[in-house]
Structure 1
Amino acid sequence: MNNPPATYQVNGAAIRATRKRQGLGIREAAEAAGISRSYWQRLETGSRRQMSPPAYAALRRTLHANEEELLVTREETGEKR
């Protein structure tokens, strides 16, 4: 059984683009996910990139995103395979 990572590294630009495609404002999206508006803004601007598994799951549900759609890619982190 795979355990979730301790945190997820999210892509702020992907979060913002997905939210806008859904036609949601920041306040509306944050309330739906059960997180603060300021926390959501920090995610979108990239000043906050790490999310706990429960917060990330709420973000994904709110944005109707698949599991990896909102994560930083290996290329963005410089990580090698």
Structure 2
Amino acid sequence: MRQLLVFHERADAEEVAETLGEWFPSLGVPRVVRETLAGEDDAEDAQWLVVLEGLGAESLARADELAARYDGWREEG
């Protein structure tokens, strides 16, 4: 199942993706994508997503802890 780590800042999402790629080499470096919030015209209101696939419960717990350090969170996508 695909999981999304959500961040307000692009730099945070990119740093988390790089770290997760180092922690879980079989994933490679996860994709970072921009998501514009529904109804928002201002580009500054976009969220940045790190797309994860293929992580087990223990690995997702580590990803959650890392995301929290950057004021991010996880959603199923």
Specify the TM-score bucket, using the shorter chain as the normaliser. 0.3 to 0.5
- Higher helix fraction (1 or 2): 1
Question: TM-score normalized by structure 2?
Answer: 0.42
Q: Which structure has more RCO (C-alpha within 8 Å, separation ≥ 6)?
A: 2
- Higher strand fraction (1 or 2): 2
Question: TM-score normalized by structure 1?
Answer: 0.40
